[in-house]
């Protein structure tokens, strides 16, 4: 567990930390490039916080990942969905750059999937409710946080 966290940290540091930090370094949804089903760079340059990622994962108004995915790490919570595969051990099946691409735009990774794209330009979508126009489901940092959390699921 500890070791994997360090590994995740190393990847982030190695690929993303430029001179700027925080929001100055945030990549806008329309500018994220998914290459070969991967996004190698952090969206923000700020290390993901797995504890917050865990909250975003369960929060119905944020990731609401639990709506579709069972996750044994959250056995204290009722009602895990079964629309998508259980996420136990997901960090062992995929690497970080792939999971970031999946969170950013699931459709670029699993064609035709029901899974929402959490960080895409809302102008590419149909009939978005006005109050969500111009917004992404998750912020760039929330994507990084959920990703950091997923990397703990061994």
Binding at 126: pick from ligand HEC, other proteins, none (beta carbon under 5-8 Å per type): other proteins
Between CA 41 and CA 77 the distance in angstroms is 32
Which tokens is 12 given? 């982030």
Collapsed DSSP state (helix, strand, coil) of residue 38:
strand
- By CB under 8 A, tell whether 140 contacts other proteins: no
Between CA 34 and CA 38 the distance in angstroms is 5
- By CB under 8 A, tell whether 132 contacts other proteins: yes
- By CB under 6 A, tell whether 116 contacts ligand HEC: yes
Q: How far is the CB of 20 from ligand HEC (least distance, A)?
A: 26
- By CB under 8 A, tell whether 30 contacts other proteins: no
Only segment of 34-42, 43-51, 94-102, 124-132 that touches other proteins (CB under 8 A): 124-132
Q: Are 98 and 83 in contact (CB under 8 A)?
A: no
């Amino acid at each position: 567990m500890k070791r994997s966290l360090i590994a995740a940290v190393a990847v982030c540091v190695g690929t993303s930390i430029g001179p700027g930090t925080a929001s100055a370094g945030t990549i806008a949804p329309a500018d994220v490039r998914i290459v070969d089903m991967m996004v190698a760079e952090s969206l923000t340059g700020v290390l993901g916080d797995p504890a917050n990622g865990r909250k975003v994962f369960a929060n119905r108004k944020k990731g609401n990942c639990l709506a579709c995915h069972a996750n044994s790490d959250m056995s204290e919570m009722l009602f895990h969905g079964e629309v998508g595969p259980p996420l136990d051990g997901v960090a062992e099946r995929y690497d970080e750059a792939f999971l970031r691409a999946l969170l950013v735009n699931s459709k670029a990774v699993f064609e035709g999937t029901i899974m929402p794209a959490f960080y895409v330009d809302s102008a590419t979508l149909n009939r978005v409710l006005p109050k969500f126009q111009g917004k992404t489901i998750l912020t760039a940092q929330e994507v990084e946080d959920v990703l950091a959390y997923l990397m703990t699921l061994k």
